[in-house]
Amino acid sequence: MGNTLHIDLSRNRVREETLDVSMADLFVGGRGIAAAMLFRETIPRVGAFEPANKLVIATGPLTGTIIPSTPKFCIASKCPANGSYGFSMASGFFGPMMKFAGYDSIIIGGHAEHPVYLWIQNEKTEIRDASSMWGLDTDDAQSAIRKELNNPKVEVTAIGPAGENMVSFACVITGDRACGRCGIGAVFGSKNLKAVVVYGDEDVPVASQDETRNVAREMMGKITSHEFTNTYRKYGTSWLVRYTRERGILPFRNFGESGALEAASGIDEDAFRKFVVKDSACHGCPIACVKTTRNTDGTYSQANTQGPQYESIWALGPQCGVDSMNAIIAANERCNQLGLDTISVGNIVGFVMECCEKGAMRKPEDLERDLRFGDHGMLMKLISMIANRSGFGGELASGVEFLAKKIGASSYAMQVKGLEMPGYDVRATPGMGLAYATSPRGACHMRAWTIAKELDGEYELYSTKGRPALVARMQNERAMFDSTGLCYFVTRAIPFEMCSRAISAVTGSELNETVSRKIGERIFNIERLLLARDGIRRRDDNLSERFFTEPLPSGPHKGQKLSRQSFEKMKDEYYEIRGWNVTSGIPTREKMRELGLEAYEDSSFLISGMRNPMSHRIG
């Protein structure tokens, strides 16, 4: 069993402990361990930017082993946008290198007196001065650290100016990948933590070398032969532009339109592929879905960026009315350099563009022209203003819900629990709407992606029948997969039973599909307990009002909108399936005990009238 590293930045102290075997049995690793550790290490209602808040970085048991496509790691903390639990995940090479350095998890608390970075090498840790790197973008910061350490092989997870300025949706960049969501970069910045740097050359121990090799060989065959992984290999996730456009759920102009608009054909996978200059892969992955692109028209300096992935293409493109792949690539590069979540950036910019067009707000004084959909020059300007909290950018830096409440335009704010929405319109897919509403971190497409099943004939179109059970099952499966180290893109090819065998081979624990599904349910429930102790209730499992009041104006689902009554009935059924109180949305004591969560019971969840953090955001 691996080690956990504890860092107290306030006291400049470092200590180690062996990872608790019982915790690993309950929560596996990765996302599950991160949630359990955050629960243990933080008090209810601690602010995201308070020194007492913690950052938990956790790998999965498969991360860094010979099991293919297992690069994932998780960072969990309090989310600045809503004051409650948040987490983000990334691939690349940082997670495996962290394991090679001897650690399964790192817990960081306190607040450094001056900018620092953590240097972790083969179970040796230093808290080093980063004053000279404060203000650098993520590319330059990573280069400076590698130069200072005289080691080009180190893996770096760093923030840019957006994190330093505590923008509520600042992200963390690791290599050329991102822990993009939930404002984890802002928490780094609040602690004066510029980066975490790891290097190691130790092997990751496994319980059975022979069985691990056998399972790895089987999984490699499944992955390389599956049609979806071959699609990812050629196009990354850009193929989803055409997929969502043809099915009428690709949102345009802040979700004001969603349909098969021809403008999107210029940014689909075939158009995207023309900009690709390099294909590359994360640690131990045969897919090579990572695409490096370069713009070509000279409008912007030669942008050279990883991606953009589908969500970034959508957020910086159709969401803002932009149909230029050159502009999207340049905006994606700038967001990565400054350390900004592209989904949130696209949402907040699309929001103010709509507000200006509809007269809900006046032209900001420090902008030379009105904000209008399609103006990618203003998109680029606002990205820099947000990251630096400059002028009007400072108002945008607290997120779309905060600004919407301030100017009285909440009907245009596309978010759940303060987290801005990804690129799927849910008016034709009620199951996806329920998945957004009940995701532990707010609007999130990664915790249960029901769209294919809802639109490709497996479920009755527009009906809510069967959706609550589908969402709960998918959420449990994803919670388990996220805790192993496996990449999401291979889970279509890997049977759940095979994942269980891989964990058993690596850890020596006796897992089967039934036990693994129960672990996934347990992980999802402890995340709900984290939300519950911060005051989040059924009322917060909600969607933007636009989905209920504005029918789709065009496309194959023209006229379709969600029914509020049917949505609330879906929630009733979902809570009953979950074993949660239907009125509050809190897991019952019976459910907690069934899942072995007795140690996480806390009667303070149940106190009537406890403050809801959703109305006390950090702005």
Domains of the chain plus CATH, in order, are: 3-199 (3.60.9.10), 232-420 (1.10.569.10), 430-492+512-611 (1.10.599.10)
Average pLDDT over residues 580-604: 89
Rounded alpha-carbon distances, angstroms, from residue 430 to 449, 454, 478: 12, 8, 19
Residue 301 has pLDDT above 80, yes or no: no
Residue among 192, 190, 181, 193 nearest 85 (CA): 181
Residue 612 has pLDDT above 60, yes or no: no
DSSP states of 208-226 as a string?
Answer: -HHHHHHHHHHHHHHHHH-
Rounded alpha-carbon distances, angstroms, from residue 60 to 1, 15, 71, 500: 12, 21, 9, 13
Residue 295 has a pLDDT of 87
Residue 591 has a pLDDT of 96
Q: How far apart are CA 476 and CA 577, in angstroms?
A: 12
* pLDDT category of residue 601 using cuts at 50, 70 and 90: confident
Q: How far apart are CA 536 and CA 439, in angstroms?
A: 12
Each residue's pLDDT tens digit, 341-368 = 999 999 999 999 999 999 999 999 999 9
Residue 300 has a pLDDT of 79
Residue 260 has a pLDDT of 52
Q: Do β-strands 177-179 and 193-199 pair in parallel, antiparallel, or remain unpaired? A: unpaired
DSSP 3-state percent helix, strand, coil across the chain (nearest 5): 45, 15, 40
Give the angle 394-175-139 at the CA atoms, nearest 5°.
Answer: 55
H helices, E strands: number in the chain: 24, 19
Separation of first and last alpha carbons in the chain:
41
Residue 371 has pLDDT above 60, yes or no: yes
* pLDDT category of residue 261 using cuts at 50, 70 and 90: low
Q: How far apart are CA 246 and CA 240, in angstroms?
A: 10
Higher per-residue pLDDT: 407 or 600: 407
* pLDDT category of residue 264 using cuts at 50, 70 and 90: confident
Name 587's Cβ contacts closer than 8 Å, sequence gap at least 6.
525, 528, 529, 532, 578, 579, 580, 581, 597
Residue 185 has pLDDT above 80, yes or no: yes
Name 415's Cβ contacts closer than 8 Å, sequence gap at least 6.
347, 399, 400, 401, 421, 442, 443, 544
Q: Do β-strands 116-121 and 257-258 pair in parallel, antiparallel, or remain unpaired? A: unpaired
Residue 611 has a pLDDT of 40
Contact (Cβ atoms closer than 8 angstroms) between residue 562 and residue 543? yes
CB atoms near residue 209 (< 10 Å): 11
Alpha helices in 67-200 (DSSP H): 94-100, 138-149, 161-164, 184-190
Please state, rounded to an integer, the average pLDDT across all residues of the chain.
94
Alpha helices in 413-549 (DSSP H): 430-438, 451-455, 467-482, 496-507, 513-533, 546-549
Q: How far apart are CA 64 and CA 522, in angstroms?
A: 25
Q: How far apart are CA 156 and CA 198, in angstroms?
A: 7
Each residue's pLDDT tens digit, 419-476 = 999 999 999 999 999 999 999 999 999 999 999 999 999 999 999 999 999 999 999 9
Task: Kindly report which listed range (53-67, 87-101, 257-271, 500-514) carries the lowest average pLDDT score.
Answer: 257-271
pTM: 0.96
Residue 479 has pLDDT above 60, yes or no: yes
Q: Is the dihedral of CA 249, 251, 252, 254 positive or negative?
A: positive
Which of 61-99 are b and which e, b meaning 16 or more Cβ less than 10 Å from the residue's Cβ?
Answer: bbbbbbbbbbbbbbbbbbbbbbbbbbbbbbbbbbbbbbb
Residue 263 has a pLDDT of 61
Each residue's pLDDT tens digit, 422-438 = 999 999 999 999 999 99
Residue 617 has pLDDT above 50, yes or no: no
226 torsion bin: left (phi>0), alpha (psi -120 to 50), beta (else): beta
Residue 317 has pLDDT above 60, yes or no: yes
Q: How far apart are CA 413 and CA 381, in angstroms?
A: 21
Residue among 371, 234, 253 nearest 315 (CA): 253
Q: How far apart are CA 293 and CA 306, in angstroms?
A: 6
Residue 194 has pLDDT above 70, yes or no: yes
Q: How far apart are CA 435 and CA 424, in angstroms?
A: 12
Average pLDDT over residues 311-327: 96
Q: Do β-strands 193-199 and 116-121 pair in parallel, antiparallel, or remain unpaired? A: parallel
Backbone φ and ψ of 90, nearest 5°: -145, 160
Contact (Cβ atoms closer than 8 angstroms) between residue 431 and residue 467? yes
Contact (Cβ atoms closer than 8 angstroms) between residue 191 and residue 257? no
Residue 548 has a pLDDT of 98
What is the percentage of the chain residues whose pLDDT exceeds 90? 88
Higher per-residue pLDDT: 306 or 410: 410
Q: How far apart are CA 72 and CA 81, in angstroms?
A: 24
Residue 602 has a pLDDT of 67
